[in-house]
Amino acid sequence: MGTVTNYVLEELRLLRAETGLSQDDFGRGIGYSGSHVSSVETGGRPPTKEYMRAVDNHLRTGERFQRMLERLGRLDAEPAWLREWIEFEREATTLRWFELAYVPGLLQTERYARATLAGGRFDAEDVDRIVASRLERQAILHRPHPPQLIAVLDEAVLRRPVLDQPGLMAQQCEHLVELATQEHIQVHVVPVDAGMYLGLAGQFIIAEMPDGERVAHADNQLIAQFVDASTDVAKLAKTWEIVRNEALPRRPSIELIKEVAKSWTP
């Protein structure tokens, strides 16, 4: 876990320990369940502004934790697992990324990134923060020694319309083509005629680090899971090979993306 996250969570744990209260008792005092307190302390749930305010009010800390949250920045907009993952992402030499539903975040345009957050789950302020963070992450692809990014997308990602956003998908597909021509970026598409295949179980990313270690994460509607156990990463690596074998080679994939881009042009 990153140093910023470690610092905040350690301070929260120490504060509760100083009170001599269990997680259940501490939670009752601040208006949260014991399981919620446990999840925050272990990094499974971000310490939100509301949570920090409740802690400060209950223990009369003089808004200490609210100030900490504000100064350390965006801790409430990104879950702990993502903050940790971003650090690995920045250090990785190779990223193997499979997406079933969306264009990978590192390859998204700003308009597309905003569209993925639509639907009322986030307020306008959080959308701005998340989009800014996602675009900032893309800087790793443009630095002097970028990681090798190998992205595999289901064709449905390219053909799914974004309602009331004319031109958005054409722009996104053209952006993909532009990026995919760079040496350190490969984009492969699993065509619709591949039928049922193993990738339909969900998206995942495998990062290879400078020392050869591999870490990964996978998520679904309910859980985003950071994976570093060697046996679990090995299973994902095997799945990756199977999924990539279903995808088109690099150049045919680019041609397919170009074809789809034209289909989105009025």
Helix axes 34-41, 3-19, angle to 10 degrees: 140
pLDDT value of position 45: 65
Average pLDDT, the chain: 87
% of the chain with per-residue pLDDT over 90: 52
Looking at residue 196, what DSSP letter applies?
S
Which residue, among 208, 210, 211, has the nearest Cα to 234 in the 3D structure? 208
**Per-residue model confidence as pLDDT tens digits over 65-75:** 878 776 665 44
245: part of which helix (H) or strand (E)?
helix 230-246
* Tokens of residue 168, six digits: 């958005």
Residues 213-235 have a mean pLDDT of 79
Q: Would you tell me how many other CB atoms lie within 10 Å of the CB of residue 230?
A: 11
Residues 44-58 have a mean pLDDT of 78
* Tokens of residue 113, six digits: 């990134």
Burial 129-168 (b: 16+ CB within 10 A, else e): bbbebbeebeebbeeeebbebbbbbbbebbeeebeeeeeb
User: CB-based contacts of 147: which residues, under 8 Å, 6+ apart?
Assistant: 92, 93, 94, 95, 140, 141, 184
Question: For residues 40 and 46, what is the distance between their CA atoms, to the nearest angstrom?
Answer: 6
